[in-house]
Every structure is written in C-alpha cells, then in structure tokens.
Amino acid sequence: MNKWMMLGFGILALAVIAGVALIVIPAPAQAPATSNQGQATTTPEVQSGIPDLITIDTPHSGTLVSSPIAISGQARGTWYFEASFPIELKDANGAVIAQMPGQAQSDWMTQDFVPFAASLTFPAQPAGSHGTLILKNDNPSGDASKQKEVDIPVVFK
C-alpha cells in the first residue's frame, strides 16, 4: 500500500471512531432557562416536583399543614390549560378531602416557567395523620399517556 492509501484509511478510521463516540456518549444535560420578560434569566430552585415541568416552593415534602395550605411554585406554560391546573388533597385513606385549581400568576401561554399560587381549605384531620397533596397537569385531552402529577406527602397538624 502506498502512503496515500494508508492516510485515507487512517482518516476513515478516525471518522468512524468519532461517529461511534457521538452515538455512545450522551450529551450533558442542560438546566431549563426561564424568561421573565426583561428580567434576568434564571433557573428556578427545585424544592419538589418534576424539574423540567414544575417546581413547588411550598409546601415541602413532610411539612406539617393546617387549613388553609398555601401552595406556590412555578410550572411550564404547558402544565396549564386556561391558566389553571388541578390540585387535590387526599387524607391518610386516599380519599380526596379538598380540591381546587392552581392559578397562573402571569401569562401562561408560553413554554417558560410561570409562577402559580393556591390556597387550599380542607376539613380538620387527626393530628399526626398523613396526607398527600397532588398537583396535576391540566390534560383536557383525557389521554392517560399525557397525564403528569407531583405527589407531596404532608402531615396534618
């Protein structure tokens, strides 16, 4: 073989190795950026939730709660439908004891994070008993494969 053929095979071998490396080695994950219309771009601090879709600031997992519960955080605009999404509170037996919509606090028609808030009133529960706060994406299609939720365990005061 002459040196030009050897050089050609060498370049071909390097190209194959580089192509395999691109397929096998995953790209590093990037944190989602948010846009606050003219404000600095930040990534919300994740307390609880699905980091790419929703973050919950309050309440935290395992928090002692009494009625009403203040609920706040940020969700991507796709989590909402008509600026709201369903929130439920279940008791220790799994029965729904309260429900209401979480409301977007600004324009929800975006792919960015949008703050939400809710104040959920519920009947008194036995002190020390456990419950679950459930935040669901609004899924008007009814397609179960598109349903997402965040479950936050709470303890009643």
pLDDT, tens digit, for every residue of 70-116?
999 999 999 999 999 999 999 999 999 999 999 999 999 999 999 99
Q: What is the pTM of this model?
A: 0.66
The confidence score (pLDDT) of residue 5 equals: 65
Residue 27: which pLDDT band, with cuts at 50, 70 and 90? very low
Higher pLDDT, 42 or 55: 55
Residue 46: which pLDDT band, with cuts at 50, 70 and 90? very low
Tens-digit pLDDT profile for residues 3-25:
666 666 666 665 556 554 545 45
User: What's the whole-number mean pLDDT along residues 46-59?
Assistant: 79
Q: Give the whole-angstrom CA distance, residue 118 versus residue 102.
A: 5
The confidence score (pLDDT) of residue 140 equals: 87
The pLDDT mean for the chain works out to 80
The confidence score (pLDDT) of residue 48 equals: 59
The confidence score (pLDDT) of residue 35 equals: 33
Residue 144 in this model has a pLDDT that exceeds 70: yes
Residue 117 in this model has a pLDDT that exceeds 50: yes
User: What's the whole-number mean pLDDT along residues 62-72?
Assistant: 95
Residue 38 in this model has a pLDDT that exceeds 60: no
User: What's the whole-number mean pLDDT along residues 46-74?
Assistant: 87
